[in-house]
Amino acid sequence: MNKHHKSSAAEKPAKPNINVRPLVVGTAEAGRLGGWGKTKVFELIATGELDSYLDGRVRRITVASIEARIRRLLQAAKTQTEADRGHD
C-alpha cells in the first residue's frame, strides 16, 4: 500500500444527524417562535409570562416558558370554545 494513501479508518467519522433542541433563545428567536414582535416579547418578560435572564449583555428566554405560554393560550381557547358551545 502506498504510504501517502489515507486509509478510510483514519478519516473523521461523519457527525450524526441529531436534532438538538435549544434550552434558551434570544429575544428575536423567541419572537419568531411565538409569532410576536419585539415589544410583545419584552412585555411578556416584564409580566413574568416568559422566563428570562441576562447572559452578559444578551437576554435569553427559556424555550420551556415559550411553550408553556402557548399551551396556556391553547387551553384558554379550548375552554372558551367549549363555553361558547354550551350557550347555543
What is the model's pLDDT at position 25? Answer: 98
What is the model's pLDDT at position 53? Answer: 98
Measure Cα distances from 56 to 9, 21, 38 in Å: 43, 22, 19
In this prediction, the residues of the chain whose per-residue pLDDT falls under 70 are 1-10, 87-88
Q: SS3 letters for 10-61?
A: HCCCCCCCCCCCCCEEEHHHHHHHHCCCHHHHHHHHHCCCCCEEEECCEEEE
Parse the chain into domains and list their residue ranges. Answer: 22-86
What is the model's pLDDT at position 86? Answer: 78
What is the model's pLDDT at position 31? Answer: 98
What is the model's pLDDT at position 19? Answer: 86
pTM assigned to the model = 0.72
What is the model's pLDDT at position 7? Answer: 55
